[in-house]
A = this chain, B = another copy of it.
């Protein structure tokens, strides 16, 4: 066959639902020489990475580590380790990622009781309390903190109390909030949480940070059946990531991806977590004013800073606008997903992409491409 030409990817401004633009420092760290996965130097880097993840998740959970797969692998790791066949689970659904969680939990053999509200809305404490009362035997309740398909930002603290009062585990999807929104795993008593690296951490995709509380650990320790996924079986992974029982080889960790995540977390801590969240808030307000000035209205009740989901005006070919943005400006934004397919744009403001320069650029470019 003809050997393809040398790689030469365009230098996009990534303002879609993720990945966000990756800083040069992270790309460079990722391109550092590969170490073996049992090399003491690598184990040191991995431990530092997990320690920084704890800081960014605001947790003391020992079992906090990056799953060797993209965000959905983290979702599946949590479901497959906490759920056993015959369990019941309540899944809050207000977009694509709640639907996925239902699918994954059902594949683990549980009965799911979905709590559904219209896409773009957020759950009230009352609605959750009623659902929890209806299904007192549910083992856990899952909810999406930052619905990447709608831009909805879900408050969690009150719901956590309701879930724990009923004796259930509280499971959170934080793919689009970690490092961009306030997220307090210990204070909010989150029992299991997963995220992705390619959103507000501005690291390339390939890892899914997760964290498990002691209560979640106890549930895993008292399972009656094996975890159906060998690759994601936390009972084996924890030896490697926390050193309990020695650093037993389970699978070969994605070394260079860990380098990238480590550098991404160093950047987060250098900026300061609070400063970083404040930057996302301020940039969101600036983008929002600009988008509304162009006649675009926000879809969700309570918008995320990090993902801005707006209605495409009547008469505009949304795909043509995205294509022009990509071709003429090398800017990526996202299409609508699910019920919003063809009707919405999703404009990300995540991590390294959340800058005034990018906001002014995209507002000018959008105006041109819509015009």
A205-232 interface bits toward B, Cβ cutoff 8 Å, 1 = contact, 0 = none: 1100000000000000000001111110
CB distance from A304 to the nearest CB of B (A): 17
CB distance from A257 to the nearest CB of B (A): 6
Q: Chain B residues with Cβ under 8 A from A230's Cβ? A: 72, 76, 100, 103-104, 107
Residue in B closest to A7 when the chains form the complex, CB atoms: B29
Q: Chain B residues with Cβ under 8 A from A266's Cβ? A: 3-4, 6
Residue in B closest to A3 when the chains form the complex, CB atoms: B269
Give complex CA distance A12, B41 in Å: 11
Q: Does A198 contact B41, Cβ atoms closer than 8 Å? A: no
Interface residue total, chain A, C-beta cutoff 8 A: 79
State whether A52 and B229 are in contact (beta carbons under 8 Å apart), knowing that A39-B332, A68-B70, A257-B254 are contacts in the complex: no
Q: Does B1 contact A252, Cβ atoms closer than 8 Å? A: no
A74-112 interface bits toward B, Cβ cutoff 8 Å, 1 = contact, 0 = none: 001000100000000000000000001001100110000
CB distance from A84 to the nearest CB of B (A): 13
Copies in the complex: 2
Q: Does B52 contact A1, Cβ atoms closer than 8 Å? A: yes
Give complex CA distance A6, B26 in Å: 11
A18 within 8 A of B: yes
A347 within 8 A of B: no
State whether A70 and B7 are in contact (beta carbons under 8 Å apart), knowing that A27-B31, A39-B12, A229-B76 are contacts in the complex: no
Of B1, B31, B204, the residue contacting A28 (CB under 8 A) is B31
A16 within 8 A of B: yes
Residue in B closest to A19 when the chains form the complex, CB atoms: B34
Q: Does B254 contact A4, Cβ atoms closer than 8 Å? A: no
Give complex CA distance A206, B196 in Å: 15
Q: Does A36 contact B12, Cβ atoms closer than 8 Å? A: yes
Give complex CA distance A218, B107 in Å: 21
A134 within 8 A of B: no
A256 within 8 A of B: yes
A14 within 8 A of B: yes
Q: Which of A1-29 contact B (CB under 8 A)?
A: 1, 3-4, 6-12, 14, 16, 18-19, 21-22, 27-29
State whether A34 and B7 are in contact (beta carbons under 8 Å apart), knowing that A1-B55, A69-B231, A255-B204 are contacts in the complex: no
Q: Does A7 contact B231, Cβ atoms closer than 8 Å? A: no
Q: Chain B residues with Cβ under 8 A from A12's Cβ? A: 33, 35-36, 39
Residue in B closest to A104 when the chains form the complex, CB atoms: B230
A259 within 8 A of B: yes
Residue in B closest to A27 when the chains form the complex, CB atoms: B31
11 contacts across the A-B interface (CB closer than 8 A): A4-B48, A8-B32, A12-B36, A19-B36, A27-B33, A72-B231, A103-B230, A107-B230, A196-B252, A205-B252, A205-B253
Q: Given known contacts A1-B52, A103-B230, what 15 new A-B pairs fall within 8 Å (CB)?
A: A4-B266, A9-B32, A10-B35, A11-B33, A12-B36, A27-B31, A34-B204, A70-B251, A70-B253, A72-B231, A72-B251, A100-B230, A104-B230, A108-B228, A257-B257
